[in-house]
Amino acid sequence: MRYRPLGRTGMHVSVQALGTMMFGAVGNPDHDDCVRIVHAALDQGINFVDTADMYSAGESEEIVGKALRGRRDDVVLATKGHFPMGEGVNRGGNSRRWILTAVEDSLRRLGTDRIDLYQIHRPDDSTDIEETLAVLTDLVRQGKIRAFGCSTFPAEDVVEAHHVAERRGLYRFRTEQPPYSILARGIEASLLPVCERLGMGVLTWGPLASGFLTGRYRKDAPIDLTSGRARLNPGRFDPTLPVNATKLDIVERLVGLAEEIGCTLPELAVAFPTAHPAVTSVVIGPRTMEQAMAAIKGASLVLDDVTLDRIDEIVPPGTNVYHPDGAWTHPAVARSVLRRRAVGERAAG
């Protein structure tokens, strides 16, 4: 296993982070099995575990807490907050009120007295970034978190946050966690260069492109839309949709490339993000032990320039074949009221 500095935090982490989104009710409900997966990953050299309060409504954090009993000091532990947890309009977001509550709840579920990296899971346009940075700064000074970062923030929001932190004398985001895969390379155009210039660590998620780069879904082969990931979101895999047909065409070319260099498609996919100089670690999110061990094999694979040039020919740098599932969409795009003038607007004269 290889290790890299986590930005300028002083912590060093494995080039793969064990993501635990699939631990609990939404993925693997067997707590003992999930604990075994965590232990196996640690035994393979992974020292970075990433979770979030909203994964299976807190169940994932509880499982991680069980798994790290007796091994907590060997692990850089990361979690996230932002998404609603339970009923109530104020039980989510990036406000001081909610973050103070969310951190205490995460500490309790994780069974620990500190979080090494606390991440703001998504932007919140209803909260001033200064308020968010101020409460996170207070939590670092209290020793409840060691460092903090953001997740799926656009480049302009990262820059604004750093500007506000400098102007107000606050601690700043030390990491960013964006989606990144061979099929979703949009962050190469601005976000990754910004993070590199600011000295931020980068944890990327979604290297298998929601399952398309597992090799399970192939062109001209029947796709069962009633099982696995396809059952949860049939439209994501429906081969009659043009975007999915394009993905399947690309998969065939990538399968051929993987065979040429003597690896599997998942190994190629997991190795790809770590080749970028701005990327610190890639988050793998297995549901089973088999998936975990297969993904970890990609940690030892280092792609050479020839292979990376071939990937560039298949998917041009800085482009997205599709909008990554779960990625943040700016309110200015998502809300029609923000991109349409009011009907009946008065004319001057």
Task: Determine the Cα angle at 219 with ends 213 and 220, to 5°.
Answer: 155
55 is catalytic: yes
- Please classify residue 341 by burial: count the beta carbons closer than 10 Å to its beta carbon, then call 0-12 exposed, 13-18 middle and 19+ buried: exposed
CB 280 within 8 A of CB 5: yes
> What integer pLDDT is reported at residue 319 of this predicted model?
95
CA 213 centroid distance within chain: 16
pTM of the model: 0.92
Q: What are phi and psi of 81, to 5 degrees?
A: -145, 150
Q: What are phi and psi of 173, to 5 degrees?
A: -60, 130
Q: How many CB atoms lie within 10 A of CB 257?
A: 18
> What integer pLDDT is reported at residue 348 of this predicted model?
60
> What integer pLDDT is reported at residue 127 of this predicted model?
97
Using the structure block, give the residue that is written with the tokens 């409840």. 144
CATH number of this structure's domain 3-215+265-332, picked from the four choices 1.10.10.10, 3.60.120.10, 3.40.50.510, 3.20.20.100 = 3.20.20.100
Pairing of strands 12-14, 3-5: antiparallel
DSSP bridge partners of 148: 118
Q: How far is CA 228 from CA 232, 263, 270, 285, in A?
A: 7, 24, 20, 15
Percent helix, strand, coil in the chain, to 5, is 45, 15, 40
> What integer pLDDT is reported at residue 81 of this predicted model?
98
| Tokens matching residue 297 | 């094999």
Residue 82 carries which side chain, given as an amino acid letter?
H
- The catalytic residue among 55, 118, 180, 322 is 55
Q: What is the pLDDT of residues 162-188, one digit of tens each?
A: 999 999 999 999 999 999 999 999 999
CB 279 within 8 A of CB 241: no
CB 52 within 8 A of CB 80: yes
> What integer pLDDT is reported at residue 343 of this predicted model?
65
Which residues, at least 6 apart from 174, have a Cβ–Cβ distance to it below 8 Å?
Answer: 6, 7, 8, 9, 117, 147, 148, 149, 200, 201
Residue ranges of the chain whose pLDDT lies below 50: none
DSSP bridge partners of 337: none
> What integer pLDDT is reported at residue 11 of this predicted model?
98
Cα separation, 48 vs 78, in Å, equals 8
Q: How many CB atoms lie within 10 A of CB 61?
A: 29
